[in-house]
């Protein structure tokens, strides 16, 4: 995997999957710029502290990026235990706006990688609604649509991971055809990260115990990062519009 001469922007670069992706990408020759709300605790080639839940915060961060960006890894996110509006703004609306703005700086052959989740697998049950939201252009218009179509807090994390997958499917091909920029998703199962405990609280002990027998263990962040980095590389130049589960086989046990 060769990432030399590539500038990769990673949101959520200061912990978990984002930090491991940053370390791996730099070891393969990439110049890595991290975006996070917290200061970094690892070596990066550039860092921007930003609020990715607002248009102003995202636009200010993008203004500090170099003119050329070869890959964007959308890894920042908040758990479902957070306020539902924050989940919507960071995990979906903000991710979408950041991608649209960084796309302006991406040459042909670039890549966008979104971190989805195994919890988004039920998107076909709400496909029409997710496609309707995907067709709403802009952060503010999307927020207005969500006010008219409120999402229950207990299911908001899953809902917006579903919405992200559908947006990825819908938007990836136009961007590939018109811009030659690829966009894909990676869907982890449980991962040993600082917010794993939030997922246990969000899903409930019964669901966690039921799912725990389906897999050997939660993943380590450095088992997810190589797939993200691969999708940023030229070796993945003909992969676009897909979602890759990286979950120790968890998804397969529901078939």
The residues assigned a catalytic role are 157
State the CB neighbour count (10 A cutoff) for residue 63. Answer: 9
Q: 215: closest CA among 118, 121, 125?
A: 118
Query: Please, which residues bridge with residue 11 across strands?
Result: 35, 74
**Both structure tokens of 149:** 């179509």
Q: How far apart are CA 16 and CA 38, in angstroms?
A: 13
Q: How far apart are CA 227 and CA 194, in angstroms?
A: 20
Buried b (16+ CB within 10 A) or exposed e, 22-31: bbbbbebebb
Distances (CA, A) of 122 to 99, 160, 186, 210, 226: 24, 11, 15, 18, 25
Q: 224: closest CA among 204, 246, 243, 209?
A: 246
Whether the CB-CB separation of 136 and 170 falls below 8 Å is answered with no
Residue indicated by tokens 């897909």: 242
Q: 73: closest CA among 132, 114, 30, 120?
A: 114
Q: How far apart are CA 91 and CA 115, in angstroms?
A: 9
């Amino acid at each position: 995997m060769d990432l030399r001469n590539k500038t990769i922007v990673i949101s959520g670069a200061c912990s978990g999957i984002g930090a491991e992706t940053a370390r791996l990408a730099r070891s393969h020759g990439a110049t890595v710029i991290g975006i996070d709300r917290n200061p970094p605790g690892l070596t990066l080639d550039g860092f921007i502290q930003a609020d990715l839940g607002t248009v102003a915060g995202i636009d200010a961060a993008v203004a500090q990026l170099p003119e050329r960006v070869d890959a964007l890894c959308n890894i920042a996110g908040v758990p479902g235990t957070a306020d539902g509006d924050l989940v919507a703004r960071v995990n979906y609306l903000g991710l979408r706006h950041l991608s649209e703005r960084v796309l302006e700086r991406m040459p042909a052959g670039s890549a966008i990688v979104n971190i989805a989740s195994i919890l988004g697998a039920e998107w076909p049950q709400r496909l029409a609604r997710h496609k309707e939201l995907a067709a709403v252009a802009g952060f503010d218009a999307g927020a207005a649509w969500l006010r008219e179509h409120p999402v229950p807090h207990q299911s908001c994390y899953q809902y917006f991971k579903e919405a992200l997958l559908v947006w990825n499917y819908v938007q990836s091909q136009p961007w590939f055809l018109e811009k030659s920029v690829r966009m894909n998703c990676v869907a982890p199962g449980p991962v040993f990260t600082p917010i794993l405990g939030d997922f246990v609280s969000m899903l409930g002990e019964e669901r966690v115990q039921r799912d725990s027998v389906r897999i050997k263990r939660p993943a380590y962040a450095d088992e997810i990062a190589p797939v993200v980095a691969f999708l940023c590389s030229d070796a993945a130049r003909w992969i676009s519009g897909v979602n890759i589960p990286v979950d120790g086989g968890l998804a397969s046990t529901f078939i």
